[in-house]
A = this chain, B = another copy of it.
Amino acid sequence: MTDTNGPLIIIGGHEDKEGDRAILAEVARRVAGGRLVIATVASRKPEGYFDAYREAMAPLGVTDLVELYLDSRDDAFDPAQGVLIEGATGVFFSGGDQQRIADMIRGTPVEQQLRRLRARGGVIAGTSAGASMMGTTMMVGGASEQSHRIGDLRMTEGLGLIQGVIIDQHFAERGRIGRLLGAVAAHPEAIGIGIDEDTAIVVEDGGFSVIGDGAVTIVDASGASLPDRGASGTLSIRDVRLHLLSEGNVFDLAGRIVDPRAAAA
């Protein structure tokens, strides 16, 4: 279900940058003294992002940082950009618009460089839009703080660094359970993963563990009823399995079960 390569660190946005920085410390640990590329591609106005991460990462021992920005898709074919990733042990995607990441990178040499980085054990991290784009299928748009109305959600292709999941972010803070249920109702073969702010999943070896302050909500519609729309157009679906995970929990993606290690112990 996942590649057997370097880890992914998928962050729900607003990771702490001034306090204990638990999530960025995990990124630093995985970068292991190497170079970290800060990819600000998600934003049309990337000014400030790179400096913020440089300041936040320095006390964590990550001092070799470079920025990857693409003004246009053409830039992703510029060999100079690929070189940035070639020399790195990690890439961190900052927030913005997940569609912009996919538009700039899918099918370009930069995407190939990302896959090569992982194949040699490098880490790819992403926060907010940088989290959503990790999946094969990603949400763009979709309302917050309302129950899902059928037809309200647009799904497109992400970078596919992790298969079989649909990721949402700023999850509890923006009241997004409605749209994630809408997404898995339309794609019941995918596991819905909603990640709170200052919370992350570390994906490796076919599963993930949770770190950070909030929760990770899993919605599994593989055994659910066919979705249905009421007279109001609002989604109706029954028998969705829901798990709420917090720091230290482990989820097995293939088995769709929580804490197989704990259960085996």
Interface residues, chain A, CB within 8 Å of chain B? Answer: 144-148, 171-175, 177-178, 181, 196, 210, 212-215, 217, 219, 225, 228-232, 234-249, 258-259
| A172 and B196 contact, Cβ closer than 8 Å, known pairs A215-B235, A234-B215, A244-B238 | no
Q: Are B246 and A235 in contact (CB under 8 A)?
A: yes
In the bound complex, residues from chain B placing their C-beta under 8 Å from that of A229 are 246
Q: Are A246 and B230 in contact (CB under 8 A)?
A: yes
What's the least CB distance linking A246 to chain B, in Å? 3
Q: Are A246 and B258 in contact (CB under 8 A)?
A: no
Q: Are A243 and B237 in contact (CB under 8 A)?
A: yes
How long is the Cα–Cα vector from A70 to B89 in the complex, in angstroms? Answer: 68
How many chain copies does the complex carry? 2
Q: Lowest 7 A-B CB distances belong to which pairs?
A: A175-B175, A230-B246, A147-B215, A234-B246, A230-B247, A238-B243, A240-B242
How long is the Cα–Cα vector from A248 to B170 in the complex, in angstroms? Answer: 32
Closest B residue to A234 by CB, please name it: B246
27 A-B residue contacts at CB 8 Å?
A144-B175, A145-B173, A145-B174, A146-B172, A147-B196, A147-B214, A147-B215, A172-B177, A173-B175, A174-B175, A181-B244, A212-B232, A213-B234, A214-B234, A228-B246, A230-B246, A230-B248, A231-B248, A232-B246, A232-B247, A235-B246, A236-B246, A236-B249, A238-B243, A239-B243, A240-B241, A240-B243
Closest B residue to A246 by CB, please name it: B230
Q: Are B236 and A240 in contact (CB under 8 A)?
A: no
- Max chain B CB contacts within 10 Å: which of A212, A237, A246? A246
| A236 and B215 contact, Cβ closer than 8 Å, known pairs A145-B173, A247-B231 | yes
How long is the Cα–Cα vector from A245 to B247 in the complex, in angstroms? Answer: 31
Closest B residue to A147 by CB, please name it: B215
In the bound complex, residues from chain B placing their C-beta under 8 Å from that of A147 are 171-172, 196, 214-215, 217, 244, 246
How long is the Cα–Cα vector from A239 to B244 in the complex, in angstroms? Answer: 9
How long is the Cα–Cα vector from A201 to B230 in the complex, in angstroms? Answer: 14
Q: Are B236 and A239 in contact (CB under 8 A)?
A: no
| A242 and B245 contact, Cβ closer than 8 Å, known pairs A172-B147, A175-B175 | no
How long is the Cα–Cα vector from A246 to B174 in the complex, in angstroms? Answer: 22
What's the least CB distance linking A181 to chain B, in Å? 6
What's the least CB distance linking A188 to chain B, in Å? 14
In the bound complex, residues from chain B placing their C-beta under 8 Å from that of A235 are 215, 244, 246
How long is the Cα–Cα vector from A234 to B22 in the complex, in angstroms? Answer: 15
